[in-house]
Structure formats: structure tokens, C-alpha cells
Structure 1
Amino acid sequence: MRGGTDGSKSGTLTKERFLERAVGKCPEVEIYIGGVAVRCLLDTGSNVSTLTESFFKEHLHGEDTDIHCTTKWLKITAANRLPLPYLGYVELDIQVMGLTVPGCGFLVIRDHDDVETDTAPPGILGMNIAQRCKQLILAEFDNALEGTLDNDWRAAFSRVQEATLGEANRMVRVAGTCKSYVPAASVATIQARIPRELMGNRDIGLFEPGNTPLPGGLILVPTLVSPGSRVFPVQVVNLSPEDVWLPSKLKLGVLTQGHHIDSSSCEVKFQRISADHEEVIVSQRSMTGVEPGLQCPLEKVQIGGTPTQQAELKALLIEYLDVFAVCDDDLGYTENVTHEIPVSDDVPVSQPYRRIPPNQLEEVKEHISGLLKRGVIRESSSSYASPVVLVRKADGNLRLCVDYRKLNSKTRRDAFPLPRIDESLDALSKA
């Protein structure tokens, strides 16, 4: 066999040389499942995540009844195209650097007696979980993680970004003639420039990372770009403990054409703030018409009055339809106001939880799990604790309330004098 390099032509193949050139190190990360530390391989080439049968049953105390049988309709093949035998599917909450990622899907792999598994990690993290971990950690980077990230996860996210890169069809570079500064452990905004020959007539574009990793493992935040804009701001996340300088005209990523979906209820607008900055506004589109097969929420509302009054009221409601909730999961959220509760002293109100009737325990667990998955509530380690109260709605469903009476008793209330009733009645005299 003719060798491709001088080293491969030598006739001596030692064990050390073989291990150095033929065997690479797969990145490993540590997660926690139910307080149990699990060392997992990060496999960006895997679509699924797995746990061994022995680890699931011995360390997580899993039972066969906890495993959903999906083997009849979901077939998994390995890289060698051979079927991968597994018992079924489970959803587990995992902890990554103190952050909880709820409802992560794992396949429980059947153990083989003829395979040595003592030294192999019991789990594999595929792209289904790796991408969720990346999104959660980036969202909590400044708040919960205080701008620090574990070295293993930083290297892992670089591999996740490389694995999710799309085809580069429109290259975007760093704008300006000077270097762009990205401080350590922070999120910075830099200016990006689109080549003049790629401007043309285009619709809204989507800027995404390119094929080449950025210096220092920087991560770009996907950005909407307004039509006709050549220079636009983009956010860059620096997860490393060192400052990074991006040279001028460095390749940042690609600009892909946005696709307009008629059925979308949102409308994207671009508002120019200054010469170098734009603001992206996503607003609810007025529902002047509803697609066939979709029921307008107003169909459930009984409107009285004359036909003319009904038409006017319906037009008004449709114009502001985005302020109404159409289901229990349609919740509003704002960051414009921060709520604070001033108390009379610094002693936390910490009450033990109240006993839940055994016949309602599973229903309560399922209800709380659903609230966690939808992001309505989150886990807390606060020194304040108030017990929950179970209340039945009129339709029989469970309503989860909290008894805040002890907290209310030590809350300093704002003094807002109410108007005098006699003055209000005098003002209405002869009206």
C-alpha cells in the first residue's frame, strides 16, 4: 500500500503512534438527572440521546413501566446501518450547571453481556438535547451563570454550532475599518456588512452563523435584516474568559432569504433608531380574515345589539384581537416593569408544604410538570416559601393557588387615598 505521507511509509507501527493518529478524543460533558451525576458523550452526529439500561435502572431507579414503548414504529440505525436495539423512550429533567432543562428525551439502550461497559460513559447527548442546552444556557448566560461557562460546555457548544451550520450562500463580514471589541464573558453588539453585489431586490433576510468558526469560539445570535439594509447590528456572545478582537472584513456568517408565510399571525417591521441602529418590531397582524378550517375566537362570543352594532363591535375586537387570550396557555409577558414586595423586616416567610390528598397527588404532579414545561413557573431556591392550595374550577379541572396570607401580613402597602364618596356624589348632583 502506498502511503500518503512520509510517516505512513515507515514499516514500524507502534501502539502509541496508532493511538495518536487513529483514535481521537470524543468530548464529554457532565449532567445531572435527579441529582445523579452522569458523564455523557456529546455526539453532534446523533439525532437522539441515549442511556444504558443498567444505568437507568440501577442509578435512576427506573422501572419498565416508566419506559414508553416506541420500538414498534420508531427504528434506530447506527452509523454502520445496523439496527440499534433499545427498550423504549423516557423523558427526564436534566440539570446543566445549575439550570434545569425539563422533558429531555432519551432512548434506553438494551445492555449486551458481551460488551465491556465499565469504562464507557452511560449516556450519549445527541442534537435533540444539545441544542436545547445551548439555547437555555445562552438565555441565562448573564443572569444565572453570571457570565461564566464551563470549559467542556464551551468546547461542546462550538461543536454544536459547527454541526448546525447551513450552506453559505450569502457571506456577511465585519463592517468598518477598525477591529470590533467583544469583552470576555459578555454579549456585545457589532456592525455587519452585506456585500454590495448581493443587495439587489430582496425581502426580509435572516442572518445566521457561517461555515467558519469565529475566533475565541464566539457565538452569533441569528438576526432579522430589513430589506435594503447593507449595514446592520448583530449580537455576539463571548463565552470565554478572554477578550476577543474581530478584524475588519472578517467572515461572520450568511444571509438567507426570508420566506413569507401567509398564515402567520405576526408582522415584522423595522424602525430606524439612528444611523447605525435599527429596531425589529414583531406585532400581531390584524385578523381581517381567518383561514378555512380555523375557527376565529370571536365565533365563541355572543354579541347582542343591532346588526350594525354587532358589525362595529366585531371589527373593533378583531383590530385588537392580540390582547385577548384564546386558551389557557396563551399567557402574556413583559419585562418593562419589575415588581418588588417591600416587607417590614428581613425575616423570610418560610412555611412547610401542606399535605396533598393521595388521590390528587398524581394530578398535582402532572399539573406542575405541565406548568414547568410551558415556562409558566420555574424552580426556585428562595428562602421564602408559601404552601400551595388546591381549588377545583367550575369545570372540574385543578387550579393551583398559593397561600400568601403570612407574606401579605408583613408587606408594607402603598398609601393611595381613595376619593371621598360624598364629594363624588356632590359632583354628580343634577347630572
Structure 2
Amino acid sequence: MGGIKVPCLVDTGSMVSTITESFFRQHFESWGQERLQACHWLQLKAANGLSIPYLGYIELSVELCDKFLPQCGVLVVKDPPGAGPSTVPGVLGMNVIRKCYHELFGQHGEALFSLGFVTEAPKPLVQALQKCHDVSIRAPLDLSGHMRVRGKRACCIPGGVMKVVAATCSEQYSGATVLFEPTDVNLPAGLLASPALVRVVRGTAYIPVVNVGTTAVLLYPRTIIGTLEDVHVVSLPAGVTEVLPNVATMASHTATPTVQDQMEGIDLSKLSAEEQGQVRSLLKKYSSVFSAHDTDLGCTNLISHDIPVLDDIPVRQRYRRIPPSEYEVVKEHINQLLGAEVIRESSRVVADYVFIRCFK
């Protein structure tokens, strides 16, 4: 690291790489103190859940498996109590190992595991590289976190223009705020998307995509433009606290008033007691003709209604498209009408007519 040989433990469960404070002061303090950057917003925890104190982080070039990796972030952690000279000063985490794997695989492909500088590397390091390889092979099979371009037509993004592209994902993310990260290989040349926190609504999120070129680029449907990851607040900067939303839940026990309740609620105070009794008796006798609610329409066979037309050709029109945001509302309304028998499903036998019952 930084031209200094650092004995390290290989930790495939760690997302960061570290060196001890004493090792830092011995080898890097003379030139690295100015480059040591604070990151109080990051909370570092051990496997047992205890916090690990650290001074900050420094960007160092790392040479691993004959591969030069510039600008690798390394945390400088405080020395553990009772640490002796035999303490290993470094921990090699997956942030560096994964970067090394991608560099090697991009250059050598699967043949990298037969190369001398890999086979001669310490066994834990080879196993860590193999783990990265296994994850990269399995990743395409798990499409739950992938974002794909929505629609049936290609989206045209002119040169030098940023366009918000609708993308679909798994329903498991609906209603959540997630981290979008662009893919490295699937976006056409000239298109860039930035990592961002996005809100998923009914399996759809809107991703800003920029065309940095001068000519228009087509983004075709079902193209994978990135991945999604669940996000959680781990730590916050000093002086910043998280305010949880106050959600009030109210249960309503008010039932829809029946016809009888509505009749009893009628104000007949201007009538005499005898007249009130006659009116209520009359209402009760014909209570079946009143609608209990909006979909209680009923039907009659006492009269028929004819609609004169110019010819006998059945009227048939194309399906009128509904905005996707209204799908659930329309579906619920249609189900209510079907349940109330106001309409019934169309049939080819009756030339796709939808029959509507007559009102009372």
C-alpha cells in the first residue's frame, strides 16, 4: 500500500480495508497526515456489533497480484488495547479485493486462476478472488434488483440532452426508496446514468439518463440500465438526527346506513303524530324500491327500452388506452359494477356488446 509492504488479514466479510494507527504513523504520517480525511458520518462495527474507533481514511495505491490499483480507500483504525509487535497491521477487505478481481478478469477472463501470480498468491486471497468470480456468475440469474426500460417503443435521447426514463423493477421494491446504481456494460455508448436514491411506485422508478455525445441514441425496451439495493440509515453526521415520521392510524367502524335507518332519520316533525305514523307505514311498505347504496340499482321487466339505429351493423370500437396510473382505480370500479350486476362481461356471441341493466 503506497509502496509499503503491509502484512494483512484477508477478510471477505469486511467491506473496508484498514491499517492500524501505529502502522500509519510509522510509515505514512510524514506525507499522509495532510491526506488523512475525516469521515465522521461512517460508523464502523465489528462482527460482534461493537464499534471500531478510527481516525479517518486515506487513499492509497495498492499493488495486489501484480495489479496496480490506484486510489483505494483505506481506513486508519486505532490500535486495539494490548496490541503487541506481532499484531497484523492491516485488514484486506472486499473493497480492494473486488476491485482487483474486476481488473484481472477484464484483462485475462477466466484464465486468471491459472496465472502464476494468482496460483502463487496466499490461499485465502485466491479463495476471495474465487468468491468474487462465483458472485459475478450468479448475479445475472438474480434479476429481482434489475431496472429495465419500460414500454414497447425505443426511447430516443438526443445528443447533449438529459432525459428521465421510466424503468420497471420487481414489485418487492414498490413503495420504498432504494439506491439505483447504473450498469457498466448494458447502456449504449454515449449514455450515462448516475447513482441516486429513487422512489419506486407500483414497480416503476424514473431514472435520469444523459447523452454526453452529439448524436441521438436509442434506448430499447427491456434494456437493463442498472440495479437497485435496499438502503438503511446506518449512521448520521454529527449534529444530525433522524426524525421518524408520525403515522396515525384510524380505524373506522361507521357502517353504511341501511334503508330502514335512513327512513327513521327523516324529519317529520311538521306532521301530526297520526300523519307521521301513516308516512312511516307507507315508506316501510315500499322500502324495497329504495336504493341502499350507489350500486344498488335493481332492474325492471315492466317496460322495455329500444334504441333506434340506422342499420343492423354491430358497433365495435378499438380499446381506448388507459394511463397506467389509473389501472387499479379502473379495475376496482369495473369489479364493483360486475358485483352489482350493472354490467356483465362481453361475449363474441353477442358481438362484444356490454349489457347495462335498467335503473329502477
**TM bucket, shorter chain:** 0.3 to 0.5
* Larger proportion of helix: 2
The two structures have a TM-score, normalised by structure 2, of 0.39
The two structures have a TM-score, normalised by structure 1, of 0.33
The structure with the largest alpha-carbon Rg is 2
Between 1 and 2, higher relative CO (CA 8 Å, sep ≥ 6) is seen in: 2
